[in-house]
Structure 1
């Protein structure tokens, strides 16, 4: 097994654990992404585009979830002052009641998990991952591959 295979296996294991966490909260990944984004958004507001880019969720999926949440009375939309095509979303009081427990439980999970891992190892892990990502990016940019037509 190559190092890239081992790396991908570890990343996949982390994703399985995170999916189990989201499921324990009673949500699917996409619904979690929308609610958590809205609960933690700067100034309490964000756009569908921001959620799509941050969580790698398709635009149509985010649109459908937001439409459903609007119908439930959990979110409200307003026009962006800078881009009329963009709609700003924010949680309503009913939406906050749904999203706040998810935010709190996720923060608790985060704090406890990284406390157990330790500050030093956490800092090392993030520094190493950032360095590895830079190296991979450089390799992709510089590596020549012959194309067979």
Structure 2
């Protein structure tokens, strides 16, 4: 059982380090880690996304996302638009300045990650993704099993 605890400690340390690496990368570009996550969400949604979608995708508290939204609005990168599906909701839309700045950030991140994947090698990269997905699946299954008990 001790070995299993060590495996968990090692995995959690690596997972935390990965988050810290992305946080440092974002800070080098003058944004926070949470700003990076919001930017990625908006750009992947072709420039329009709801705050609740970002909260759900990254399991970020609503207040944190709201603070990031206000920061991006102050920077002139983001504006709010009434949602056609739900008039009470607001779509987060990039401004022209926001599109330009976020495109540059996303491109830099994609290039950075591409260099990492190339160094890792295609076979190991695919295994990393496969085994991480499998770990997540088993974690979810054990959680579900324990919830039913």
Interval of TM-score (by shorter of Structure 1 and Structure 2): 0.7 to 0.9
What's the C-alpha RMSD, in Å, of the aligned pairs? 2.2
The alignment status of 1:74 with 2:74, answered yes or no, reads: no
Task: State the partner residue of 2:32.
Answer: 28
How big is the shift at 1:145?
10
Runs of 5+ unmatched residues, structure 2: none
Runs of 5+ unmatched residues, structure 1: none
The alignment status of 1:139 with 2:139, answered yes or no, reads: no
Q: Structure 1 pair 65/142, CA: closer, same or farther in 2 (3 Å)?
A: closer
| TM-score normalized by the length of structure 2 | 0.84
How big is the shift at 1:123?
1.0
Count of aligned positions: 145
| TM-score normalized by the length of structure 1 | 0.84
Q: Structure 1 pair 126/84, CA: closer, same or farther in 2 (3 Å)?
A: same
Task: State the partner residue of 1:86.
Answer: 89
Task: State the partner residue of 1:8.
Answer: 12
Between the two structures, name the one with larger relative contact order (CA 8 Å, sep ≥ 6): 1
Q: Which runs of 4+ in 1 moved over 4 A?
A: none
